[in-house]
Amino acid sequence: MGFPQNRMRRLRRTESLRALVRETALDPGDLIYPLFLRPGSGVRNAISSMPGVFNLSVDEALREAEEAAQLGIGGLLLFGLPDAKDEQATGAWHENGIVQQGLRALKQTAAAKKLVLIADVCLCEYTSHGHCGVVVKTGDGFAVDNDPSLELLARTATSLARAGADIVAPSDMMDGRVAAIREDLDKNGLTETPILSYASKFASAFYGPFREAADSAPQFGDRRSYQMDGANLREALREIDLDLEEGADMILMKPAMPYLDVILAARERVDVPIGAYQVSGEYSMLQAAFEKGWLDRDRAILESLVGIRRAGADFIATYFAKDAARLLSR
């Protein structure tokens, strides 16, 4: 029947009715909080393009982890800023790398029993040139050499898993990196370590603030030869299929907001856990609107995250994790 017998507004009349029939739920345990680790002690350096986000020494990161655990947040996603960079990204895979130090320290805390520790696996923060793989010169400039990069990525993942990462998350977009990481983890007795693959990571303008946070801007060229073209949905689904064939246990979509259709298509295609990353540009764009008074802060934070969940993401990496957890606990 149509109107007037059928009135859709009947179930919207009160908050309790709206809550009863709500289709998409968002819980603090669905959220992953990214942290940027750097050497030192007592370091909490503000990131100018990301209000409320900091580069942290390990001791400060432990405080953040404790707060995240108390808020019921599901986990942490760890990035590193090394003391020194080189062409072989030594800081990424060295036993005493900054993220490795952070993982070992976190594993000694009570918070680690409540949080999943996810270690990003990439080389861009650690290479002197800022690219996600080994760079070679070519006749017309340079290229990121895929196959030699796989060895460094696999070494990085194994080092991070040994240091205590519950999950390793390759974000480099080199072909074959999931298989290389799975083989190296298994060879080193780390068969229980899951791989969360950034299966479809797009070359996006929305990464800009992250490059300040992680000091990872390319020194020349760009990353469009290995990160995906934002126009390609079918190619993204091929990337997902290939990564799962190579042994990925979970997949991650990045960015989230401009690619909600990719999250939905992935959800309809595969039955593995799917995450999405509400990236730095999405966060900073909203923060700028809040500062201007153009958007209701609390409502916009939750609405942006519910939209990502509604599209099909099981969990969301977001710099709003603590803010959202507090709002959800009200």
Catalytic positions are 201, 254
Between CA 266 and CA 271 the distance in angstroms is: 9
| Residue given tokens 């070519």 in the structure block | 138
Which element (helix H / strand E) includes 277? strand 274-278
Query: What residue type is assigned to position 205 of the chain?
Result: A
Which residue from 223, 226, 225, 170 is spatially nearest to 199, judged by alpha carbons?
A: 170
Between CA 312 and CA 266 the distance in angstroms is: 8
Do residues 28 and 324 lie in contact, with contact meaning Cβ atoms separated by under 8 Å?
Answer: yes
- Local structure of residue 9 (DSSP, 8 states): G
Between CA 109 and CA 92 the distance in angstroms is: 23
* Intra-chain end-to-end CA distance of the chain, in Å: 39
Between CA 240 and CA 267 the distance in angstroms is: 11
Do residues 37 and 61 lie in contact, with contact meaning Cβ atoms separated by under 8 Å?
Answer: yes
Q: 35: which strand partners? A: 78
Q: Reduced to 3 states, what is the DSSP secondary structure of residue 37?
A: strand
Q: Give the number of C-alpha atoms closer than 13 A to the C-alpha of residue 32, restricted to the C-beta side.
A: 25
Which residue from 125, 123, 215 is spatially nearest to 173, judged by alpha carbons?
A: 123
Q: Reduced to 3 states, what is the DSSP secondary structure of residue 105?
A: helix
Strands (E), 2-87: 31-37, 44-46, 54-56, 75-80
322 φ, ψ (degrees, to nearest 5): -70, -45
